[in-house]
Each structure stands twice: as structure tokens, then as C-alpha cells.
Structure 1
Amino acid sequence: MKMVYDLHIQAEHLCFLSHGRFSYEIIVADDGSTNKDAMKANMEINTLPHCRYIIRGYNTGRSCIRNFMAQQAKNDYLLFLDSDLAIPDQSFLKSYIESEGNDVVYGGITIGGSHKEYRNNLRFLYERKAEPEHTLEKRIKNKYKDFHTANFLIRRDIMLENLFDERFKNYGYEDVLFGKKLKQNKIKITHIQNPVLFDNFETNESFINKSEEGLRTLFRFSEELNGYTAILSLVGKINKIPALTNIIKLWHRLFGRMERAWLTGNNPNLFIFNLYRLGYFLNIKQ
């Protein structure tokens, strides 16, 4: 809800500065949520000018809900933001407005929180470790593989011609295939420094559950995503040595539960997390 208020204030300010020439709408779609308190609070979105809160009766998946919002939208450009993120500064919308004219613009993500506060949170440790690999300079060098759908601007006509793959019903990797699709269709992605703030970290148990779900999604679409994820590249190298593959698979069957208990506890370890993910993926069956 705070994100909507922040965006609304910035949008209204842009309207004022443009003497009404700037047009906008904010659409929030509830994809089958069961949190009644959150749904009740979000109903206030409908009281704000140019804002809509749409409740859908059942969960359709991250791809389908994004496609639905694109079809609901009316303006020429669409800005997609994940709801668990925050707007870090007052010039966020202005920076995207200044980048209009491009096909697709990705602003990036910055990780909030302190190590002292979140030293026992696996998601925080994972994201903070990965953050230096996603600087603007590195994103520019890897435009399509280092693209995520948590914070991007896209021309509406391009979006409607390149909808998300609705086979992706569960968590994970729909954004990777979307980036690959943009590359195949020769649609340019422009990277800028206009990040959203990620400082809302789920519990270790929840993050492990999401990671496992994402790995199952990756396994299902591994042929189409080959060459676009680090774990598939690593698995490809490991599978060239069958003995090593068998050792990792056996290790996971013997010690996977112990690793999982460690990761969901109060002292998670990133090396164990990566080992667990690798073993989990290699043990997924058709």
C-alpha cells in the first residue's frame, strides 16, 4: 500500500508540473490472495484518483497476472513493479519518464537492511552477496540475461506482442524466458540506474520453499532456459562427469535433510545453500 501512495504522490506531482499533460493510472491486481486483512487495507487504493485495485478470485500465476494487467492498462507505457518492493527516492518516476522512447527499460534493484539486523536471514545474505554482480555496468554488458521483471518499463504495444509465457504457473524464471524472448525478437533493453529497494526479507523456511519451487520450474523449462541461468550452466558442466553427478546426487539424498534444517535455522550458510540447490536440482525426476 505504501508503494502505491509513494507512486501516486510522484505521479500527481508530475501532473502538476506538466499542467495536466502527464497521464497515468496505477493498477494493483490481487492474484487470489487469502490474506483478508491485506485485501481490506488495499481497498483504499480505489479511493485514490487514477488508481484501481482488482481482486481476482483465484491464483493464475505470475505470468498470467502480468499479461492481465497489460491488457487492462490504457496508456502507451507500462511500468511493472513487484508489490514487496519500495520506492527509494522522490525522482523514481521522473527518471523513467526521461527514458521514454526506449522499447524496454530496466532500472535494477538495490538491497536494503544491515548485516547486523539480518545476519541470520538467508534471503538477505543471498541477495547482498549477489548484488555486486548486478551493477549498472555489468547489467549493460549482459542486457538480456541480467534482466528481471521486478522493476521495468515497456511500451504497451511491445508488451502485448510479447506476452509472458502463461505455462509458468509456479514461482520462478518466467522473467528469464521473457528476456530471452525479447532478445530473439530483437527488442532492445536499456539499462539505467533507477532501482527499487528490496528490504522485505521472508523467513528462511519460506525462502527455501520458494527456491525449491523455482528449481522445479527451472527443471521443467530447462531446455528453453539453457544458457540463461548460472545453475543450468553449472549442471551442464557437472553432467559431463557422470561420477561427479552421482556423488552430488547421493550426497543430497544422504544429507539433504540435514542441510535444509541448517538453512532454515538461525545460522544459514551460502555455501551449503548452493550445495543444497545443486543437489536438489540433480535429484528432480521427470
Structure 2
Amino acid sequence: MLSVLIPTYNTLVAPLVENIHAQCQKVCYPFEIIVLDDASDNPAFLDQYEMMEQLPNCRVIKNQLNLGRTKSRGLLADMAVYPWLLFLDADVMPKYPDFIQRFALDGVQEAPILFGGVTYHSEKPVIEEVLRWKYGMSREAKNVRERYKRPYFIVSGNLMIQKATFSTINLVSENVYGLDNIVSYFIYQNGIKVIHIDNPVFHLGLENSETFIRKSIESLETSIRFESKLDLPDDFRPIQKLYKRLKNFRLLGIFMICMKWFMKSIEKNLYSNNPNLKVFDLYRLYHFSLLKEKNDA
């Protein structure tokens, strides 16, 4: 028994809903699909809901105010009828035609959380989206074996979870970026088993480089804030460990000076048609260090 939950905002979600609905009709257990529109303000995306509401076992809910994806997920979970929840981002599409069946058959008796993974199309996008695409291809599109090296790290855009377990880890309602890292820690902290399966979705909604960089820095701010509240250890994420290493070896000052010296060249690389992810790692570490020093002052 499955509730498919899709929060959306100004996104063409109809193709995803049609795909998932067609697959759900092939399974032998009850299902529902709930789409929650988070007060979209673009009229171009509002007409699609009439078609969805005609689909059996599918309903569309519309927020009166924009609440953000985190609160929207909480509302979706509260509305869900069935004990298993499948959260999907609105800008994804299943890779396999038996996507729903794979979730139904893999591990549902072994663990309360199943993560199918994320992947990206191999075609290089326009230059404005290359950094996000390259980061996704290299850092997010991992096979099952690679994901099991850090089993608690998940992406909430393709996650099947028991409703009771979701209530245990859904402790944050803030609308901020970087919460997947916090949720991953809550999963680790509670000793909740995660099963990783080969069932990825294509991430289609690539941000431009400027937006992606801004969100990446906001994600760092989120980690530091939760770290300050003692809700996240200061060595849970790799970037936290790197920062501590620089501090312990008294190399942070030299690192910051070098980064300032080369910042124009670094930013030029990140916005280019061939951004270097190692350079992006250094850029993020620089901003993490700035934020940490400011927070700890």
C-alpha cells in the first residue's frame, strides 16, 4: 500500500504524474498519488492539474501560501492514507519503466527506508547549467555499491519511507537549503537502516550556475546553524572534516589568503563551459571557512 507524494512549485509535473500513475495501475496493491502545489504563481503551470484530478486515485492539493518544500512534504505525509510513502521531486522522471515495481519488490521487509538514487542525462546542457550538471553527474549519480560506502546519505527527491519512520526524522520545518544533510544525520543518529537499490530518477530541473552556487552556500549556512545548535556534529560532512584539518594544522590562514588571491580566476572557471569540481570544492570550503569564523567569533 503506497502513497506517492509530489510537492511542486511552478513546474510542469504532469508527465511525471502520468508516468507514475500508469506504473501504479500495474501493481496489485492499493495506491494513491497526491500532488501538492505550493502556491504556484505562474499561470502556465496551473492548467495541468485538471487532467491529474481525472486520474483514479490521484488528487491535487493547492497551498494558499508558499510554505516551501520541507513543510509541503510534512503536509503530504499527514494527508497520506497508506503506510509507505514515496517522495518524488517534481522535476524528475524515472529511468526504468518498472520503477514502481522495483520499489515494491526491493527490501520493503528489510528496512524502513529505500533510496533509489539519482542520475542525469549524458547530453551536456547549455553553458549556464554545466556546473550543476557536472556536479550531479560526478557527485550524485552513484551506483548502489558507491552509495553503500556512506549508506545514511540520501537525497529526498526519490525516497521510499515508512510513514512512522518519516515522523521520527522529520524534525525540521524550516524552508532552507541543505536539509538532506541534516535528515541524513537524523537517520544515522537513530540507527535507521537504509536499503539502496538500482532505481534512479533523472534529475531534469538544472539550475543555472549562479543559482546553484548561491544554494550551495546557503546549504553550508544550514549545516553551520545546526552544528551551532548541537543538532549536527562538526565532523559529519566531508567539508566539516576538511575545515577541522586546516584548523588543526594551522593552515587555514594561508588557505584563505590564497583563495582570495585567485578568486577571480576561480569564479571564471566555475561559470565556464568546463568547470573544475575540485576548484568548486575549494570555493565551497573557502565560504564554509568564512561562515565558520564569523559564527565562532
Q: Same fold (TM over 0.5)?
A: yes
Pair 1:86-2:93 in alignment: yes
- Structure 2 residue aligned with 1:245: 252
Structure 1 residues 58 and 248: CA distance shift in structure 2, 3 A? farther
Is the 8 Å Cα contact of residues 113 and 193 (structure 2) preserved in structure 1? yes
Pair 1:23-2:48 in alignment: no
Structure 1 residues 58 and 241: CA distance shift in structure 2, 3 A? farther
Deviation at 1:267, TM superposition (A): 4.2
Deviation at 1:254, TM superposition (A): 5.0
Task: Provide the rounded CA distance (Å) in 2 between the counterparts of 1:228 and 1:210.
Answer: 20
Flag structure 1 segments of 5+ consecutive residues without an equivalent.
none
Is the 8 Å Cα contact of residues 52 and 58 (structure 2) preserved in structure 1? yes
Pair 1:62-2:69 in alignment: yes
What does residue range 259-274 of structure 1 map to in structure 2 within 5 Å? Answer: 259-274=266-281
What does residue range 1-286 of structure 1 map to in structure 2 within 5 Å? Answer: 1-14=14-27, 18=28, 22-99=29-106, 100-101=108-109, 102-115=111-124, 117=125, 121-131=130-140, 134-144=142-152, 146-166=153-173, 168-172=174-178, 174-222=179-227, 223=230, 224-242=232-250, 244-256=251-263, 259-284=266-291, 285-286=294-295
Matched residue type, 1:55? K
* RMSD between superposed Cα atoms in Å: 2.3
Task: Provide the rounded CA distance (Å) in 2 between the counterparts of 1:163 and 1:155.
Answer: 12
Deviation at 1:105, TM superposition (A): 0.9
Deviation at 1:219, TM superposition (A): 2.1
Task: Provide the rounded CA distance (Å) in 2 between the counterparts of 1:212 and 1:196.
Answer: 25
Q: Give the TM-score of the pair, scaled to structure 2.
A: 0.83
Flag structure 2 segments of 5+ consecutive residues without an equivalent.
1-13
Matched residue type, 1:177? I
Is the 8 Å Cα contact of residues 67 and 164 (structure 1) preserved in structure 2? no
Percent sequence identity over aligned pairs: 30
Matched residue type, 2:239? I
Matched residue type, 1:151? N
Deviation at 1:86, TM superposition (A): 0.9
Is the 8 Å Cα contact of residues 77 and 154 (structure 1) preserved in structure 2? yes
Deviation at 1:255, TM superposition (A): 4.6
Bigger helix share: 1
